[in-house]
Chain A
Amino acid sequence: MDKELEHSFVELLEKHQNIIHKVCRLYTNNYDAHNDLFQEITIQLWKAYPKFRGDSKFSTWMYRVGLNTAITLYRKSKRTINTQDFDGIEFKMKAEDYDDTEEQQLKTLYKAVHELNDIEKALVFLYLEDKDYREISETMGISEVNARVKMNRIKTKLKTILNP
């Protein structure tokens, strides 16, 4: 039975692993830290999996556990030595989309998002993942109105960073 549970979990995780990668992308600066956080989120998901009832989608459940791990449970590992910075490595644009100004804007935007605090990052992450305000408020434990207000503030903040 345990093997079956493990198997179904690993299959689901493999399928939805990008959610964890994206959380790690937002909350870490280098590969070691990325892998470390990925590992911790995986353990937390696995520990919580026996209680996963399936009344919500696995992916929705992953967002919650992933963000909770990143903003609350995760203790930065000592071995997160800065080896390679993400900037310039992973945010590649496809050739056909290449636009100097847009690329520059995106680079600045990603940098600006990295400078937001943990809670702001979580809101931006859910927004980028196309979650509605109801889901954002349920994941964070704040009201929908407050989620909207905060998102508007973040948008203004980003606008200021981009157009000083």
Chain B
Amino acid sequence: MDELELLKKDWGKQDSSYKKLSTNDIYPMLQKKSSSIVKTLFYISIGELVFWILINTIPYFLSDSYRERMDAIYYNDYIFAGLTILSYGVILLFIYLLFKSHKAISVTDNAKKLMESILKTRRVIKYYVIYNLVIAFISMVIGMYFAIMHDPNLADTISHFNKKQMLITYVIVIGVTAVFVFVIWLFYKLLYGLLLKRLNRNYKELKKLEI
């Protein structure tokens, strides 16, 4: 006899072996909170948005001198003001994309479509993180450059550097920033890797069936 047929025959007999829940057992279950990966992904994406918005705005509200300097730049430098408006526009765009992709996740879709919707949401978050890391990298390098140039002692020291020493300084500045950004990136890879490990494995398995 076919192995699965043998199993099927027995499978049907198992019905009585399950603990039968009454309606009174089921009602409280509806009040419990879900711990699905979609929920976790949703919280993480909210966390990402808040985190990067705070990173960008906290110095403005906490430091008077920073605020004064920024206000002066905004009034005088239209390009910088434009870039800031653009960066908030990008955040708004990501909020919209995240909202849209979260809404598209439906547990009643077929297994493959559900996985694809979740992976799409994950991609939106990934792009948001990449965007922020790139911006962080550029701002840190420019920030360090200005900090060095505006510090009279450092500026004086650097003005005496030869070409080789200058190059080493650039390499160190860029290298330190790159390592910092890379460590944050690794953290994200680990976070999403752990969260979506099973989903990725199952999605690959489904895709394999199509080959």
Q: Say whether A associates with B.
A: yes
Assess the B206–A119 pair: CB atoms within 8 A: yes
CB distance from A68 to the nearest CB of B (A): 5
- The B-contacting residues of A in range 51-72, CB under 8 angstroms, are 51-52, 61, 64-65, 67-69, 71-72
Chain A, residue nearest B116 (CB): A141
**Does A40 lie at the interface of the complex (its beta carbon under 8 Å from any beta carbon of B)?**
yes
Assess the B14–A91 pair: CB atoms within 8 A: yes
Please judge, given known A-B contacts A14-B22, A40-B36, A127-B4, whether A73 and B107 are in contact too, CB under 8 Å. Answer: yes
Assess the A128–B11 pair: CB atoms within 8 A: yes
- The A-contacting residues of B in range 24-66, CB under 8 angstroms, are 26-27, 29-30, 32-38, 40
Report the interface size class on chain A: 35 or more
In Å, the complex CA distance between A77 and B18 comes to 21
Q: Digit string of A22-44 for contact with B (CB within 8 Å is 1, else 0)? A: 10010000000000000110111
Q: Digit string of B6-18 for contact with A (CB within 8 Å is 1, else 0)? A: 1110110111011
Q: Digit string of B167-211 for contact with A (CB within 8 Å is 1, else 0)? A: 000000000000000000000000000010011011001100110
Please judge, given known A-B contacts A43-B29, A48-B106, whether A18 and B18 are in contact too, CB under 8 Å. Answer: yes
- CB neighbours (8 Å) of B209 from chain A are 119, 142, 146-147, 149-150
13 chain-A/chain-B pairs, Cβ below 8 angstroms: A6-B27, A10-B23, A10-B30, A13-B26, A25-B14, A71-B202, A72-B202, A106-B6, A110-B7, A117-B205, A119-B202, A128-B11, A139-B111
- CB neighbours (8 Å) of B13 from chain A are 93-94, 97
- The A-contacting residues of B in range 92-141, CB under 8 angstroms, are 106-115, 118
**Does B151 lie at the interface of the complex (its beta carbon under 8 Å from any beta carbon of A)?**
no
Contacts between chains A and B (CB distance < 8 A), count:
163
Chain B, residue nearest A155 (CB): B4
* Nearest 8 interchain pairs by C-beta: A141-B112, A141-B110, A73-B36, A21-B18, A119-B205, A128-B11, A43-B34, A146-B209
Assess the A72–B118 pair: CB atoms within 8 A: yes
CB distance from A26 to the nearest CB of B (A): 10
- CB neighbours (8 Å) of B36 from chain A are 40, 44, 69, 73-75
Assess the B14–A140 pair: CB atoms within 8 A: no
Please judge, given known A-B contacts A13-B26, A75-B35, whether A65 and B107 are in contact too, CB under 8 Å. Answer: yes
